[in-house]
Amino acid sequence: MRRILITLTTITIFLAVSGCAGPTGSRGFDTLFNGQNLDGWVTVGDDSAWTVKDGILTVKRDDMDGKEHNFDYLWTKDKYGDFILDLEFKVVEGTNSGIFFRTSDLKDPVYTGIEVQVCNSYGRNKLSKQGTAGAIYDCLEPAKNTIKKPGEWNRCILTCKGSRINVVLNDEQIIDMDLNEWATVKKNPDNTDNKFGRALKDFARVGHIGLQDHGRPVSYRNVRVKRL
């Protein structure tokens, strides 16, 4: 009996140290942002709006115009289908941005990719498909508004497996979504409208992960991904 207990204790310690006790442990994760430069990322247009300093990736333009700079989104070179994306982001007053995934056409990201909303919704009571952090943009509002104050770091974990989309923001699950329920063009299951000319269930299940440049400041760090 003593030998068994020692073995189990040893295994438990190993799991805790190696980070295998939970889905976001280090095992199996690849670093997407190395904290030094934009290696591993591409844009269709110009990446000059993305700055790297002290391990932080930031959108910073001379004219923060609040416009969608669709060709200047930052994209992974590789494509991902089933995966866990684990990152931290920080917003300021007025931030409006997004994390895109499974995007099939980098020249048309807004209509060929799915977006997790990144914005300053701190303190707002009303949940929105467009204006609440963690929403699946225009499709599903989060269960709660869990974003921290502007200037504080937020941890977002996005899990995609088949048709299932899950978002955890600051340790609380706020999105549990089945894309197969979005079966009608320009309609959500709750009968509200969305902008998409193709039903979400028919979107590509493999594509690029991207960070939006919407002409407002937003910062990222500790960006990593694990294929499932």
How do residues 79-111 score in pLDDT, each as one tens digit?
Answer: 999 999 999 999 998 888 999 999 999 999 999
CA distance 200 to 182: 5
Residues 6+ apart with CB under 8 A from 62: none
**Strand partners for 156:** 87, 169
Report whether 72 contacts 45 (CB < 8 A): yes
Instruction: Write the CA distances from 127 to 26, 124, 135, 157, 205, integer angstroms.
Output: 33, 8, 9, 19, 27
pLDDT of residue 48: 83
81: Cα separation from own chain's centroid: 14
- Span 19-71, pLDDT tens digits: 333 345 668 999 999 999 999 999 998 888 899 999 999 988 777 676 777 77
Mean pLDDT calculated for residue range 188-196: 97
Stronger pLDDT, 24 or 192, i.e. the higher one: 192
CA distance 11 to 9: 5
Architecture of domain 32-227: Sandwich (2.60)
Query: 185 pLDDT exceeds 90?
Result: yes
How high is the mean pLDDT of the chain? 88
Query: 182 pLDDT exceeds 50?
Result: yes
pLDDT of residue 46: 81
List the one residue out of 127, 79, 124 whose CA is nearest residue 104: 79
CA distance 201 to 149: 34
How many Cα atoms sit within 13 Å of 157 on the Cβ side?
Answer: 12
pLDDT of residue 63: 74
Mean pLDDT calculated for residue range 9-14: 33
What is the residue extent of each domain of the chain? 1-25, 32-227
- H helix or E strand, kind and range, residue 13: helix 2-18
Residues 6+ apart with CB under 8 A from 188: 129, 139, 140, 182, 194
Q: What is the pTM of this model?
A: 0.86
